[in-house]
Chains A and B, each alone.
Chain A
Amino acid sequence: MKVALSIQGLKKTYTNQLEALKGINLQVEQGDFFALLGSNGAGKTTAIGIICGLLNKTAGDIQVLGLNQNTHGNEIKRLIGLMPQEFNFNPFEPIEEILINQAGYHGISRSASRVQAEVLLKRMQLWDKRFDMAKSLSGGMKRRLMLARALVHQPKILILDEPTAGVDVEIRRSMWAYFKELNREGMTIILTTHYLEEAESLCRNIAILNEGEVVEKTSMKKLLSKVAHQIIILESASVLPEHIKGNGFECERLDDYSLQVVLGADINITDVLQDLSKQGVSVDHVRSAQNRLETLFLRLTKKNKQEY
């Protein structure tokens, strides 16, 4: 598989001496859906900024589809579409103009840009608002506008920096579906997000950044398999017995109607439910107490200590 993005020894020290990246190495294959996770200040946005040419690097090497950034910076910019974390358009520009201008910066003629803008604005359900100023859009619409802008020059690699932050569940789901569609069509996607279930459901490979260093870099499947146990909550419509004992699993009565169960790798939910049934527990609802990726993320970024 051809490498879409290769980062070697990337360092960034800001003018205030903040060392945001401490020599990270990363490789993203073409066609991958790659998650770049990390807590606030881990260096994700800095790394993305450098890849896209928004920030100067201090040291290191970046290659995009075999092109070196030092010698082919502008060619690389043609290959990448960025949907940034913060709204970074002129709020006083009509939204169609924003797309047409972005295409123009990529050398696409105004007539061709209009066609492409129409396709994207219709896909993002923003066509009716094409003459409206960007400032008049809702938060979700602004996100979709930035996605359309990132795609207007038909890039090979799409970088999504917290694309669904502040977006309602319905739009988030439709954006996920669109991301999956783009990825199926062959677009390499790099995603940073704070919604870990987003990364878990979309991405095949993952890297976790912590304090400017890559602390984990593997496939999502392998990473999730590292979680030896899963915590679930069982809810009953009737009052639970006072004493419940797990046969081969740990359980704890949380209140009269809820029971927390720790599932090991060697026991499945059916066995647990059968065992509890024998003890007079009738389960009405089952829910996960914690996202598996979240468990790992907190462990890897050393944030599993409670901080108040």
Chain B
Amino acid sequence: MWIAYKTIVIKEVLRFSRIWVQTIFPPIITTSLYLLIFGGLMGERIGQMQGIDYLQYIIPGIILMTVITNSYANTVSSFFLAKFNHSIEEILVSPVPYWVILLGYISGGVVRGFIVGLCVFIAVSFFVEFTVDSIFITFMTFLLTAILFSLAGFINAIFAQSFDDISIVPTFILMPMTYLGGMFYSIDILPQFWQDVSKFNPIYYMVDSFRLGFLGVSTSDFWTSMSVLLLMIVVLTVASFYLLKKGVNIKT
């Protein structure tokens, strides 16, 4: 089982590494543009947020957004393409338990999230000097976020019937939730009603915890954020495993 798991992970890593121009390079360019426009040009006029320079303030959110989109994109595109070109059958005819298949694809998403997040982190360090306040909080938030969105991408891929279906969720759900999750601002500056609405957005907790790890400031309790993340991971893991085992859109 370990060899099968390792095979899936290596296959996944080689897959996105081969197309690094599409997978690793664009987030670095996008991040640099964000920093240039929102941080460099507009940031000076905004001043500080929660007592921190705006340019520094938005960096954790930008890195986490990269982690979210890349973890999601990796599993959704890889698993959907495997369904589309039927190469998923290579695994299905092999004695690989369903949980190993799931774990392999999720690990692939997490690795891509980590590599791209790290590249963005390095790119960011050219623009602004900053330190990590808590490696534990930063890493835990990264890990759980990457797992959660890899799982979400996996479920999207199971249900997707066309290439349109794999872009609908990131475009119409994921991106708005990310932008409205406090990536560029503290929810403290919102009217009370929108502050309350923001608390129903799980990405708010992730961004807030990641910012806590990097900068030591947050608007929510860290353990509450971790609990929300863990609960969602459990729910999506059970759902993914059930769908895979039933063979929904794969073996029916």
Contacts and interface: CB of A to CB of B under 8 A. Distances in A.
A54 interface: yes
B92 A53 contact: yes
Interface string A73-103: 1110110101010111111110001101110
Interface string B1-32: 10110111011001100100000000000000
A106 B94 contact: yes
Given A54-B93, A75-B95, A90-B81, A104 B86 contact: no
User: Which of A84, A101, A102 is most buried by chain B, counting CB atoms within 10 A of its CB?
Assistant: A101
A86 B3 contact: no
A56 B1 CA distance: 23
Nearest to B252: A15
A84 B82 contact: no
A208 B213 CA distance: 67
Main secondary structure of the interface of A (DSSP, over half): loop
Contacts of A249: none
A131 interface: no
Nearest to B87: A90
Given A91-B85, A101-B90, 8 more contacts: A53-B92, A55-B247, A74-B97, A82-B93, A90-B82, A105-B90, A105-B94, A153-B94
Contacts of B81: 90
A107 B86 contact: no
A7 B81 CA distance: 33
Interface in A102-127: 102, 104-110
A107 B95 contact: yes
B93 A74 contact: no
Interface of A: 14-15, 52-56, 73-75, 77-78, 80, 82, 84, 86-93, 97-98, 100-102, 104-110, 149, 153
B251 interface: yes
Contacts of B252: 14-15, 55-56
Contacts of A14: 252
A14 B81 CA distance: 23
Interface of B: 1, 3-4, 6-8, 10-11, 14-15, 18, 81-82, 85-87, 89-97, 247, 251-252
Nearest to A106: B94
A88 B90 contact: yes
Contacts of A56: 247, 251-252
Nearest to B100: A105
A14 to B, nearest CB: 7
A104 B94 CA distance: 9
Nearest to A74: B95
Nearest to A75: B95
Contacts of B251: 54-56
Contacts of B91: 105
> Which 8 pairs of residues, A with B, have the shortest CB-CB distance?
A104-B7, A105-B94, A74-B95, A88-B86, A90-B87, A77-B95, A88-B89, A52-B93
11 contacts: A53-B92, A54-B89, A74-B97, A75-B95, A90-B87, A93-B11, A101-B7, A102-B94, A105-B4, A105-B8, A109-B3
A89 B8 CA distance: 14
A80 B89 CA distance: 13
Given A56-B252, A97-B14, A101-B11, A106 B89 contact: no
B4 A104 contact: yes
Nearest to A49: B251
Given A74-B95, A91-B85, A108-B3, A102 B90 contact: yes
A233 B224 CA distance: 86
A107 B1 contact: yes
B94 A77 contact: yes
Given A101-B11, A104-B4, A107-B1, A77 B93 contact: yes
A302 B189 CA distance: 77
Which of B3, B15, B96 has the most C-beta atoms of chain A within 10 angstroms of its own C-beta? B3
B205 to A, nearest CB: 36
A92 B3 contact: no
Contact of B85 (A54, A84, A90): A90
A99 to B, nearest CB: 10
Contact of B93 (A80, A91, A101): A80
Given A15-B252, A54-B251, A90-B81, A106 B86 contact: no
Given A15-B252, A55-B251, A56-B251, A89 B94 contact: no
A53 B93 CA distance: 6
Contacts of B11: 93, 97, 101
A291 B57 CA distance: 79
